[in-house]
């Protein structure tokens, strides 16, 4: 996978338990947290776009989540908790949509020391100039 455009966004937390999979939080709590995370992601993305000198990313992009936490958490639940954040990235104008036609998502998890939790989001263009063989592609 070659990269022609890249933006890195760092959140100094992981998605809270109230917005991850298997939550039993009240809908008002869910909506409040999602609204805050969406707005925060939008502003962090705009800042990262300025820093990277990128107006927008065209074509399909790879969104890679790298979660650092001091306790084990299922990666699928963490990615589920990133919905509002991805919506904020779309609202910032970096990518036009978060549908599968535009976005390929991967996630990984690594343990860290207490107090060093964070989520690193790397968004990079998937270069379309690579020749495709007759094999099925994961993109």
**Per the domain annotation, does 133 fall within a domain?**
no
**Per the domain annotation, does 135 fall within a domain?**
no
What's the pLDDT score for residue 81? 93
Give ∠ CA 8-60-73 in degrees, rounded to 5: 50
Q: What pLDDT digit, counting tens, does each position of 62-121 carry?
A: 999 999 999 998 999 999 999 999 999 999 999 999 999 999 999 999 999 999 999 999
Backbone angles phi, psi at 57, to 5 degrees: -110, 130
**Per the domain annotation, does 134 fall within a domain?**
no
How many domains are contained in the chain?
A: 1
Q: What pLDDT digit, counting tens, does each position of 17-56 carry?
A: 888 888 888 999 989 999 999 999 999 999 999 999 999 9
What's the pLDDT score for residue 133? 44
21 in helix, strand or coil?
coil
Instruction: Report the CATH number that the domain containing residue 25 is assigned in CATH.
Output: 3.30.1330.70
- Enclosing domain of residue 98: 6-125
**What is the value of pTM for the model shown?**
0.84
d(CA 16, CA 44): 18
Residue 4 — pLDDT band, cuts 50, 70, 90? low
**Per the domain annotation, does 130 fall within a domain?**
no
């Amino acid at each position: 996978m070659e990269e022609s455009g890249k933006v890195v966004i760092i959140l100094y937390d992981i998605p809270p338990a109230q917005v991850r999979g298997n939550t039993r939080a009240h809908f008002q709590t869910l909506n409040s947290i999602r609204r805050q995370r969406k707005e925060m992601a939008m502003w962090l993305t705009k800042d990262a776009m300025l820093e990277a000198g990128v107006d927008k990313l065209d074509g399909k992009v790879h969104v890679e989540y790298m979660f650092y936490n001091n306790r084990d958490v299922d990666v699928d639940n963490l990615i589920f908790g990133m919905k509002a954040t991805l919506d904020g990235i779309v609202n910032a104008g970096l990518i036009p949509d978060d549908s599968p036609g535009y976005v390929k998502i991967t996630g990984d998890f690594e343990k860290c020391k207490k107090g060093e939790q964070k989520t690193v989001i790397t968004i990079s263009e998937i270069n379309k100039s690579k020749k495709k063989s007759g094999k099925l592609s994961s993109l």
